[in-house]
Structures are given as C-alpha cells and as structure tokens.
Amino acid sequence: MLDFRINTFLTVCEYMNFTAASEKLNLSQPAVSQHIKYLEDCYNTKLFYRDKKNIHLTSSGEILFSAFKTVSNDEIKLKNMLNESKKQKTKIAFGVTKTIGEYMVFPSLTEYIRGNKSTNFNIHYKNTKTLLEYLDNGIIDFAIVEGCLNDKKYSINPLKSEDYIGVCSSKHKFSKKINSIIDILDERLIIREEGSGTLSILVNLLSMQNISIKDFSNLIQVDNMRMIVELVKNDCGISFLYKSAVNEEIEKGTLVELPLKDFKIRHDFTFVYNKKSVFSKQMEELYNIMKNF
C-alpha cells in the first residue's frame, strides 16, 4: 500500500495547487504542506518551486512523480490481479485507437483473445492521446496506437507497418495537375480530431515541408473514421488515411490515391506500455505472443 504522503504528493501534482489538493483529499492545507515537507526531508530535495502564483515540479520532483506514478499504477493492477485470482481468472485491460478499432483489428489480437477463454478482457476504444492518459493512470495495461511517440517513459514496440496515403473521390475534379502537396493546398481537407494519432502523423509530415493544415483552403474535422471515408467518397474534400482503411473503396473505384511524388510514407502501429512497471516483463511476453501470431 502506498504511503499516504505519496498519495498527497501525487494529488498535488495532479492539480498543481495545494488548496485544490487539500479539498480533493479532505485534508487541511497545512496537513498537505506537512506531507510534502516530509517527502522533501526524506529525499533531501525540493519537489516544487513557485513562479508567481503557480507551482511547478523541480527536476527532482519530476523524477519522483514518474517513479511514484508507476508504483501507484502497479498497485492498481496488483489489486485487480488479486481480486481476479480469487475467481481463478486473469484480467487484461488494453486500448486500441479508433482507426485500428474500426478497420485494423489485428488477427494476432483476436487470435490471442480467442485462445485465452479464462481471461477477462477490458477493451477501450479511444484516440491516441486518451489511451496514453489511460496508461499513465493505470486504467489499461497496454495500448495499440498509431501516431508519433517518443516519450521515454513508454516501451514502444512495432507491430505492423502501414502505407499512409492521400485520397479523394474518383469523381473529384482538380483545378490543375497534381504532383505534390503544394498543388492541393486549395482543396478542402478532412481530418481527424485533436489527439488522434492519424492527425498527428499528418501534422508532422506536413511540417517537414513547412506546411500546416491551416494552409489548406478549408477544414472539416471529424472524430469518426467511417464518416471521413463517406465524406471523401461523396466528394466533400480530400483526406490522408491509412491505406487499409480505404482499400475496399480504392478497389471498387469510388476513391483514388492522390499522385503525390513528395508524399510516400509507411508508418508503424505500435504496442505501448509503461517501461518502468514491475509488470514490464509480462507486457513484453504478451507483445511477443501477439507479434508471433
């Protein structure tokens, strides 16, 4: 069980405000301050510093927060495991992004679920940003995401590589010959919502050519991949998607790939989990099982 002062520290980190933390914990503000002072004395370091009216973590505080957050998440998982062990069952909670969930449920994933009939699964279907928050808060054990990740606190392992392409309706008429990104900036662009890995990839790719999504004539932002495909099919704009999401439409001839010479990319779908968790070995074994399928 976590020391109550560690819980106080994590709550202060959540709100970055002693008063809000004290209200959340139902403690007096002096009591919260005493808990933080105890930890600072224990580790012989300052954990917070003030900048006008705001507080911020020191570099030592950030290290301690990362460590305590991992321990807190492990404790949640441990409690769940102990509860499930009484029923002689195991439980795995994981998340998949909306693109993967709608179009690319891995055969390895379904094969694994089918082969573990005594395991309870809790599957979350969110965008990349939300799934990483779930990982940080111990809600899920791992996530399968697309998008650009470089956070050192995660173990990031490739599962599958996919072509990422521009598409438009086969009925769409361009005002000029299309060869490069710069030629389509007068088009209406249909994109995913903020926090989506699919959007993150596009933003990064465009930035390499000093282009922003705001440089397109108009934008439509949608939080549902199927809706985007339908909008593009009905010539409401162009979009950039994983080829797997539109293979059927391309084969039928309702969508066509944009002939962009400066936009050739493959991107990984990745299996992500908390690197410093005491359950890292279990997650690594699960990743290898899924990859081998």
The single-letter DSSP state of residue 259 is -
| pLDDT score recorded for residue 289 | 80
| pLDDT score recorded for residue 91 | 78
Summarize pLDDT for 216-237 with one digit per residue, the tens. Answer: 999 999 988 889 999 999 999 9
Token code pair at residue 96: 């998949």
Alpha helices in the chain (DSSP H): 4-15, 18-25, 29-43, 59-86, 98-103, 107-115, 128-136, 197-207, 225-233, 243-252, 280-292
pTM given for the model: 0.64
| pLDDT score recorded for residue 106 | 67
Summarize pLDDT for 113-141 with one digit per residue, the tens. Answer: 888 787 888 889 888 889 998 988 888 98
Structural domains in the chain, sorted by start:
4-67 (1.10.10.10), 79-160+268-292 (3.40.190.10), 161-266 (3.40.190.10)
Q: Which stretches of the chain score pLDDT less than 50?
A: none
Instruction: Tell me which residue of 196, 240, 166 sits closest to 100, measured CA to CA.
Output: 196
Q: Mind spelling out the 3-state secondary structure of 265-287?
A: EEEEEEEEEECCCCCHHHHHHHH
Q: From CA 141, how far away is CA 227, in angstroms rounded?
A: 30
Per DSSP, the three-state class of 179 is coil
